[in-house]
Amino acid sequence: MDRRRFISLVSAGIAAAPFIKTLPKTSHNYANPNTPFDLVAVRGGEATAMFDEGIKSLGGISSFVKRGQRVVVKPNIGWDVVPERAANTNPALVGRIIQHCINAGAKEVVVFDNTCDNWIRCYKNSGIEKAVKESGGKIAPGNTESYYQSVSVPGGKRLTSAKVHELILESDVFINVPVLKNHGSAKLTICMKNLMGIVWDRGYWHRNNLHQCIADFSAFRKPDLNIVDAYNVMKQNGPRGVDEEDVILMKAMIISTDMVAADTAAAKLLDFEPKDVSYIKIAGETGIGRTDLQNLKINRIKI
């Protein structure tokens, strides 16, 4: 079954056969170096409005997505909970990103995650499946090992190989859309941590220095764009949360091509410095990205 047929079946809610295409196993970094700002920080609006204003200041989504390209959008869809719990990415934001990509001429926009809870329930109850389909995007699963291809992770200290979902390896554009939240093992989950949803064996990471593995993998395939959803933020009991009392309304968003810079800025929203979150500290020290926000060109937008 070819990839186009696979996605059309999945979007219709039909079980699909495994991918069969042999894919390149190489490291990529397609991030656009010509944006006017290193980072955009937006506060005070609805998630969709903040994205509209934020991406406009980076030259629009067409600075990243060209006509005819295949785009993969990777939100956090890991948990079978309603949007108000803020365990998953804001569905309205995911839908708006897809709309921008399609308006820029994207050939297709596909959304997936390797979920922690049952993937069908996560996609539905997070509100993300509905938002994706209404916006013209396609949903694909991440729940079967045969969808993942083995790759090497050059320079990794604890993580030297991984199985990565074929959609990521095939994509022309990779957009990373984590939700900012508390995490029991990693302290915070943001951009770099969200990449655990594109690999198969996450258990290995937890058994072999989680923070180092997160930093190691972040050098493998840097997203073209990172959009941190900090509209509703889970401040405790993450990553799944207990109830809505764990959540604060923050109405914020961070956008950057640099995962480390985005994680640094987002962490500060919860009063964390890079040294407080080991994977951010390691990634900054090894040059994967920058933590010196004071030396970056930052556009601060208040709505």
Q: Which CATH class is domain 40-302?
A: alpha beta
Looking at residue 34, its pLDDT comes to 72
pLDDT for the residue 18: 35
The reported pLDDT for the residue numbered 35 is 82
Residues 269-279 pLDDT 10s: 999 999 999 99
The whole-number pLDDT of residue 33 equals: 56
Contacts of 190 (CB under 8 A, 6+ apart): 178, 180, 228, 262, 263, 266, 267
Using an 8 Å Cβ cutoff, are 180 and 188 in contact? yes
Interacting residues of 14 by C-beta distance below 8 A, sequence separation 6+: none
pLDDT, position 10:
53
Stretches in the chain below the pLDDT threshold 50: 1-2, 4-6, 8-9, 12-31
CB 109 within 8 A of CB 138: yes
- DSSP state, 117? S
pLDDT the model gives residue 25 = 35
In SS3 terms, 172-220 reads as CEEEEECEEEEECCCEEECHHHHHHHHECCHHHHHHCCHHHHHHHHCCC
User: Would the pTM count as exceeding 0.85?
Assistant: yes
